[in-house]
């Protein structure tokens, strides 16, 4: 079912309305009065989505591992300073389409930094924080026929800011599209995610830890029926499982060949075990200490293979 959308800001929508909302900016939380009932005749227009710091409100601040308020406030989680905790109050009147009668209506906010409070027609709807995740509210019960007033407040800092202390510019406000949409109260979802493979694709499964290969002592490789094999090594080993012939992967030495669509699937699973020691492997960006270097060559090791029957369908289990 195609959902219908009415925009609060700039978006590709079915129903077009002005792409800005009235906004009032306060420098400090203490400067706020009533939560939603403002006279907005003298307020500025703010694009939505739109970042305060690039629209003339405040300055972008870059920080890595330090909190930006350290020069004015003693860090005290979960408390944040009142001073310079800028607050933006947004208000907009919209008309709800007649054909949405009887449907459930949702407000979608794609990204708000650092948090937000939402009111519909003066009734508090909800709260959200997490500057890079979307927030959705079911606002059906708060709406009325005809014009409706949507109001929300955005704060520069909140307790969640303590968890978002990463290496980037600190920017506030609404960063992604905001809109309303309606759907039937009863519906069926058919969700499918299909992605294109990029040149980094490598067609196999391997244990990883923080982005690099890691050794294991046990691997269970089973059919969806639950039957399969368990591999246990006397010492740690590296392994991978793939639905490609090992010969096809080893046809060329270049990375481009291994990431090519010319590598064809086969109807069985290869389990590949590599025993490696320091110095007998590619080590980009570093050097192995001399006392750990050993000559290149073939090295034998022992591992045990057991037949297994799992209690539930599992394809791969790694420890």
What ranges do the domains of the chain cover? 4-183, 208-318
Return all residues near 57 (Cβ < 8 A) that are at least 6 apart.
25, 86, 88, 173
Residue 136 forms beta bridges with which residues? Answer: 108
Helix, strand, coil shares of the chain, percent, nearest 5, are 10, 40, 50
CATH, range 4-183: 2.60.120.260
Sign of the C-alpha dihedral computed for residues 244, 246, 251 and 252 taken in this order: positive
Residue 102 in tokens = 């009887």
* Number of alpha carbons in the 13 Å side-chain half-sphere of residue 248: 16
The Cα–Cα gap between 32 and 304 comes to 69
Contact 110, 175 (CB under 8 A): yes
SS3 133: coil
Residue in the structure block whose two tokens are 């219908």: 4
Q: Would you place residue 135 in the very low, low, confident or very high pLDDT band (cuts 50, 70, 90)?
A: very high
CA separation for the pair 133, 197 (Å, rounded): 25
Spatial distance between the Cα atoms of 105 and 107, rounded to a whole number of angstroms: 7
HSE, side-chain direction, 13 A CA sphere, residue 118: 20
Return the pLDDT at 307. Answer: 65
pLDDT at 238: 76
- Kindly report, residue by residue over 46-63, the tens digit of the pLDDT: 888 888 888 888 888 888
Indicate whether 159 pLDDT > 70.
yes
Residue 300: CB atoms within 10 A of its CB come to 5
Q: Is 173 helix (H, G, I), strand (E, B) or coil?
A: strand
pLDDT of 14 strictly over 50: no
Largest CA distance in the chain: 81
pLDDT at 149 over 80: yes
Separation between Cα atoms, residue 193 and residue 82, nearest integer Å: 43
Find all residues with CB under 8 Å of 179, minimum gap 6, and list them: 5, 6, 7, 8, 9, 11, 13, 107, 108
Determine if the pTM surpasses 0.75: no
pLDDT at 38: 66
Q: Which residue has the tokens 């694009």?
A: 47
Q: Rounded to whole angstroms, how far apart are CA atoms 219 and 310?
A: 13
What average pLDDT does the chain have? 72
Cα 211 from Cα 205, distance rounded (Å): 13
């Amino acid at each position: 079912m195609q959902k219908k959308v009415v925009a609060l800001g700039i978006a590709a929508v079915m129903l077009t309305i002005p792409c800005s909302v009235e906004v009032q900016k306060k420098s400090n939380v203490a400067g706020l009065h009533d939560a939603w009932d403002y006279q907005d005749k003298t307020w500025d227009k703010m694009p939505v989505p739109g970042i305060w710091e690039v629209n003339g409100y405040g300055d972008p601040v870059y920080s890595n591992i330090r909190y930006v308020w350290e020069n004015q406030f003693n860090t005290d989680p979960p408390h944040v300073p009142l001073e310079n905790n800028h607050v933006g109050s947004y208000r907009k009147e919209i008309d709800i389409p007649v054909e949405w009668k009887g449907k459930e209506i949702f407000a979608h906010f794609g990204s708000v930094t650092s948090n937000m409070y939402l009111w519909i027609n003066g009734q508090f709807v909800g709260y959200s924080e997490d500057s890079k995740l979307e927030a959705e509210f079911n606002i059906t019960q708060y709406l009325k026929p005809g014009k409706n007033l949507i109001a929300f407040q955005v704060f520069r800092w909140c307790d969640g800011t303590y968890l978002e202390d990463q290496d980037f510019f600190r920017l506030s406000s609404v960063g992604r599209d905001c809109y309303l949409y309606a759907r039937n109260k009863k519906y069926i979802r058919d969700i499918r995610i299909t992605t294109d493979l990029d040149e980094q694709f490598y067609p196999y499964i391997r244990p990883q830890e923080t982005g690099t290969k890691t050794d294991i002592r046990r691997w269970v490789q089973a059919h969806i029926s639950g039957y399969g094999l368990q591999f246990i090594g006397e010492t740690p080993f590296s392994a991978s499982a793939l639905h490609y012939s090992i010969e096809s992967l080893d046809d060329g030495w270049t990375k481009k060949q291994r990431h090519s669509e010319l590598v064809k699937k086969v109807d069985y699973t290869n389990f590949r075990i590599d025993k490696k020691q320091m110095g007998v492997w590619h080590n980009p960006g570093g050097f192995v200490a001399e006392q750990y270097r050993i000559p290149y060559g073939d090295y034998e090791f022992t591992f045990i293979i057991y037949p297994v029957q799992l209690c539930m369908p599992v394809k791969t289990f790694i420890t």
